[in-house]
């Protein structure tokens, strides 16, 4: 029987960082993607995103819930990596270095992906969804 394979640090960290980033910014990325594919109107996309924010535009309870979920996903990735790594017979010093690298990679990559997706979704909303919403609202006023 072969011993358990040591998990790939970079694949593992990318998988959990991307999952955490998407979970944390789901409030903006989901309506943008649904609008992009024509599955959601501009008015509904903005109302979906507004659900997660306060009336003044600040972060609301829903957005904080998504961000806490993102942190939990990142923490679970670290926990699962540590558990899987402990099944392998590698040097304890190397395990500690791998764990530190994983934590730094998940945090750095997760925050970077989150901020990148946030920037992209803000640009997409301003460039495409808001004009579509204005056009839809103007059409509904004319009837």
Mean per-residue pLDDT over the chain, rounded: 90
CA separation for the pair 109, 125 (Å, rounded): 24
**Which of 2-6, 13-17, 96-100 comes out lowest in average pLDDT?**
2-6
- Per-residue pLDDT, 57: 80
Question: What pLDDT shows up at residue 31?
Answer: 94
Domain residue extents for the chain: 9-142
Q: Is the pLDDT of residue 1 over 90?
A: no
Token look-up 């942190």 returns 71
* Percent of the chain whose predicted confidence (pLDDT) is above 70: 95
Which residues make Cβ contacts (< 8 Å) with residue 108, sequence separation at least 6? none
Encode pLDDT of 80-92 as tens digits.
999 888 777 678 8
Of 18-27, 64-73, 82-91, 96-105, minimum mean pLDDT range: 82-91
Given this model, what pLDDT does residue 129 score? 94
- 70 pLDDT band, cuts 50/70/90, is very high
C-alpha–C-alpha distance, residues 34 and 47, integer Å = 13
- Closest to 121 in 3D by CA, of 52, 38, 26: 26
Q: 122 pLDDT exceeds 70?
A: yes
Has residue 13 got a pLDDT over 80?
Answer: yes
Between residues 57 and 120, the one the model is more confident about:
120
Phi-psi region of 83 (alpha: psi -120 to 50; beta: other; left: phi over 0): alpha
Q: What is the reported pTM?
A: 0.86
């Amino acid at each position: 029987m072969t011993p358990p394979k040591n998990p790939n640090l970079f694949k593992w960290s990318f998988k959990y960082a991307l999952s955490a980033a998407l979970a944390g910014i789901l409030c903006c990325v989901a309506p943008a993607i649904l609008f992009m594919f024509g599955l959601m109107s501009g008015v509904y996309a903005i109302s979906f995103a507004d659900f997660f924010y306060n009336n003044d535009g600040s972060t609301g309870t829903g957005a904080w819930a998504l961000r806490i979920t993102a942190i939990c996903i990142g923490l679970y990735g670290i926990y699962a990596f540590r558990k899987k790594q402990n099944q392998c017979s590698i040097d304890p010093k190397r395990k500690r270095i791998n764990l530190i690298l994983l934590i730094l990679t998940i945090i750095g990559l997760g925050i970077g992906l989150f901020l990148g997706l946030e920037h992209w979704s803000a640009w997409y909303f301003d460039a495409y969804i808001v004009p579509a919403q204005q056009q839809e609202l103007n059409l509904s006023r004319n009837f």
